[in-house]
Amino acid sequence: MPIKKGIVTFAFLAAASGAAAQAPATDTAKKDTAKVIAIIATLPKDNRQIKPYKEVISAGYDTKRGLFTVHQYKDSIYFEIPDSILRRDIMTVNRLENAPAGSAMFAGEELKERVIQFEKNEDSTITIRFNLLVNRADVKDDIYKAVERSNYNPVAYTFPIRAISADSTSYVIDATAFLTGNTFINEIGESQLSKEATYSSVKNAKVKSILVYPINVEISTSKDLTAAKGTPPEPVSIMTHISFVALPRIPMQQRLFDPRVGYFTEDFNQFADSQQKVEKRQVVTRWRLEPRSKDIARWKRGELVEPEQPIVIYIDPATPRQWRKYLILGINDWQKAFEQAGFKNAIIGKEWPENDPNMQLGDVRYSVLHYFPSETANAYGPHVNDPRSGEIIQTRIGWYHNVMSLVHDWYQVQAGATDPAARKAKFSEELMGQLIRFVSSHEVGHTLGLRHNFGSSSRTPVDSLRSLAYLKQHGHTASIMDYARFNYVAQPEDNIPQEYLFPRIGEYDKWAIEWGYKASFAKDVDEDTRIVRKWISDRFAKNPRLWFGDGETQKIDARNQTEDLGDNAVKASTYGIKNLQRIVPHLPEWTYEEGGVQENLAEMYLNVKRQYVRYLDHVLLNIAGIHKTLRPDGDTMKVFEMVPAALQLEAVEFFNQQLFTTPLWLKNPVVTAKVETPVSPNNPDFVEDLQVRAINSLLDVSRMNIISANMNRFGENALQLNDYITAVHKGIWKGLKEKKVVIDSYSRTLQKAYFANLMGIVLAKTPEMSETDASSIMKADMYLLEQEIKTAIPNTSDAMSRMHLEDLQNRITQLQNNKNTM
């Protein structure tokens, strides 16, 4: 499932470094405070900004102590900031607690996060300063001073100190305006509230609840928003929840990203005296897993131990009860992956204890799968992490109610031919539950730090997808982080049970968790990097199925595709189309619902067409395609390789057979008579339109130029451009060699589209078209076509076919008579 807002999609607006030393809280805080008190004593009483503690915090205040103390009396709220957290990194995480109707946002979704520091100033104020630190250095290096001077952090808010504690170790500030004013809109919180409007100001803001704990403070506020100029004036009321959570004083040791294992990262520039160029450092995001103190020796010996703090993900109590156990199963499925990293019971899914007064859903210490009442068919798995080290501190998975419609439709079009349970408009609770389980596992993988691995499915031989013995051992893809939904290659005669049609936690997933979470016991990040890089080289040499195919930032590789299966797109797509051909005639029966009026049928027929197009796309990307396999320095194997020439020619033949030979099975009248709108200028024939688009793509001069360039780069083993054009030509014009030539309307349109592409290249004046081998070959193809048409016309008794061929013959003659073009 995609992550919300596109592939991690989770950008932080503030970052700090595990390697960069934090400036310590001032050692002279008490002396400074004493000086301030002495100065105050000399001022007239009316001019004193700092008042005696008891005058500010009177007996009527409700006081809550924790990370910092909060005093509240009705609508007045004071923070008491201790010396101990001055200049300490604190993360603020702002979420929707109650979402506005019609905003396309939901309770539990994140609005913004920042890293801040409270800072005491010489003018008797406390400042909230953002800690950005996109450029970092170790405090021991001389360059650290330059980095500090050139990265001055911005101030978000300044508070006058209203009182000082009796022991002079904490400072009272009035936080009322801060919590109820525009600060949250503009700086700390809700600036990303709505995709539909921008809000400029707050009114009627009220603090609804305050909870204070040792490492975090949780505050909920309600407010009405005023729409900015140019946006709809409808009133909007929301309730938001801000968490202040102290980040560890000593950040977790970083693990540097390696592009051969797919992890999300925190990215920054690392400066050091010893460098000869700036390091573009990428730190992977992962949870902190450490053994209990009594188990450290066993852990170091490689024994399986339980972590001191396991990863616990709670299920939103608003989740329908029948789905909770499946969501939990999807979470717990990752336990076996963590066992490979050395931890048992490292991740646990639980139902939220609804009657526990000590647990609050908004508390930043708890990770939750939030259930959204939305028609959006999706789910996403973000996480909140310490930007200094990559340590994940919380996840809030977003689960849209309507994701069930998505998995239903996927499963019916991909597995309906092999699984009788998929042949219903409404699945059984058990089947839908298992579909939910696999989506849950995928999204949880993201919350553990894992990115999509779109190349993983290419490591499975296509024929193995039909082997029960293979599927029992390996599954149909090596990674649940791939978009390899269901085993559409399996045929009915293979008798593959339902459980082996689903994706599951695979070999790559277990390896990726091992690589990210297993301890290297290195003394520093440099030694850790050397160790874990060797892990990759050693492990991949033994098991190529552990390959990470990055289809999001590296889209060049034809193997890194979404929704595909197997190591041969031609063979896999052919099997997939066979199953679609079995499904289409049964769609009226399989989509029947009492009281329905063909809505289900129309939707599933659309899904069949979409699935068919996916199969075509999977094959198309192999033509002129490249494979890229990252290799470590010193490795003699190739990084870039061409898709084998034979496979590219198979791909052309696939189009000739599966598309250019008109797929009339898609036009099954049992279905189309009920759901397909008649053709009109604004509604072209689906098959005809698809055929024309495909031939335009195959004859695109850019594709042909790439094939020509590959000939130069890869030599005689590369696909020859002339062989490619010959193969395409054969598929489009093969009917001309029949003893009795009859060309149907689909073929006539397709042939005219072919000729239009030919003519466009022949007539082109631009160098990228006219001064290439493609131009020469297409001119030769035109002369060949002229002879074929001359031969075919006498064998044509069908009137429309004859007019069509004579028209093309006249166009070729006119083209040849134009001397400026030849």
Residue scoring higher pLDDT (239 or 770): 239
* Predicted structure pTM score: 0.90
Residues 6+ away with beta carbon under 8 Å from 478? 456, 457, 459, 460, 506, 507, 508, 509, 545, 546
Strands 311-315 and 396-400: unpaired
Compute the average pLDDT of residues 50-54.
93
Contact assessment for residue 267 and residue 280, using Cβ atoms and an 8 Å cutoff: yes
Looking at residue 17, its pLDDT comes to: 30
pLDDT of 690 strictly over 70:
yes
For residue 691, give the nearest of 648, 657, 725 by alpha carbon. 657
Looking at residue 552, its pLDDT comes to: 87
pLDDT of 228 strictly over 90:
no
Looking at residue 2, its pLDDT comes to: 46
Give the 3-state DSSP-derived string for 142-190, with helices as H, strands as E and coil as C.
CHHHHHHHCCCCCEEEEEEEEEECCCCCEEEEECHHHHHCCHHHHHHCH
Looking at residue 202, its pLDDT comes to: 72
* pLDDT tens digits, one per residue of 371-394: 999 999 999 999 999 999 999 999
pLDDT of 43 strictly over 70:
no
pLDDT of 558 strictly over 90:
yes
* pLDDT tens digits, one per residue of 495-514: 999 999 999 999 999 999 99
Q: How far apart are CA 176 and CA 778, in angstroms?
A: 76
Q: Which conformational region is residue 237 in: left (phi greater than 0), alpha (psi within -120 to 50 degrees), or beta?
A: beta
Residues 6+ away with beta carbon under 8 Å from 336? 505, 510
Residues 6+ away with beta carbon under 8 Å from 552? 7, 451, 452, 454
Determine the topology of domain 293-603 in CATH: Collagenase (Catalytic Domain) (3.40.390)
Residues 6+ away with beta carbon under 8 Å from 246? 67, 85, 88, 89, 90, 215, 216
Helices (H), 715-820: 721-733, 745-762, 767-770, 773-792, 799-817
Helix (H) or strand (E) holding 447: helix 429-447
Mean pLDDT of the chain: 89
pLDDT of 11 strictly over 90:
no
Residue scoring higher pLDDT (766 or 790): 790
At 490, phi and psi to the nearest 5? -55, 135
Looking at residue 636, its pLDDT comes to: 87
Res. 26 pLDDT band, cuts 50 70 90: very low
Residue 199, SS3? strand
Q: How far apart are CA 256 and CA 276, in angstroms?
A: 19
The tokens for 165 are 């504690």
In the sheet that 286-287 helps form, which strands lie side by side, from edge to edge? 286-287, 391-394, 384-385
Helix (H) or strand (E) holding 530: helix 525-542
Exposure on the CB side of residue 505, measured as CA atoms within 13 A: 25
- What are the helix and strand counts (H, E) for the chain? 25, 24
Residue 680, SS3? strand
Contact assessment for residue 135 and residue 279, using Cβ atoms and an 8 Å cutoff: no
Task: Using CA atoms of 326, 328, 333, 336 in order, give the dihedral in degrees to the nearest 10.
Answer: -150
At 741, phi and psi to the nearest 5? -85, 115
Residue scoring higher pLDDT (127 or 122): 127
pLDDT of 45 strictly over 60:
no
Res. 12 pLDDT band, cuts 50 70 90: very low
Candidate from 353-362, 378-387, 778-787 with smallest mean pLDDT:
353-362
Residues 6+ away with beta carbon under 8 Å from 367? 311, 312, 313, 314, 394, 395, 396, 447
Please classify residue 112 by burial: count the beta carbons closer than 10 Å to its beta carbon, then call 0-12 exposed, 13-18 middle and 19+ buried: buried
Looking at residue 184, its pLDDT comes to: 52
Compute the average pLDDT of residues 177-188.
67
Q: How far apart are CA 81 and CA 218, in angstroms?
A: 15
The fraction of the chain above a pLDDT of 70, given in percent, is: 90
Compute the average pLDDT of residues 53-62.
94
Q: How far is CA 618 from the centre of its chain?
A: 20
Give the 3-state DSSP-derived string for 701-720, with helices as H, strands as E and coil as C.
HHHHHHHHHHHHHHHHHCCC
For residue 754, give the nearest of 772, 736, 773 by alpha carbon. 736
Looking at residue 201, its pLDDT comes to: 67
The tokens for 610 are 């979409």
pLDDT of 780 strictly over 50:
yes
Looking at residue 205, its pLDDT comes to: 86
Strands 367-372 and 396-400: parallel
Compute the average pLDDT of residues 421-427.
97
Looking at residue 35, its pLDDT comes to: 53
* pLDDT tens digits, one per residue of 394-417: 999 999 999 999 999 999 999 999
Residues 6+ away with beta carbon under 8 Å from 772? 701, 704, 705, 708
Looking at residue 676, its pLDDT comes to: 86
Residue 440, SS3? helix
Residues 6+ away with beta carbon under 8 Å from 479? 453, 456, 457, 506, 507, 508, 509, 512
Q: How far apart are CA 416 and CA 281, in angstroms?
A: 47
Residue ranges of domains in the chain:
29-246, 293-603, 682-822
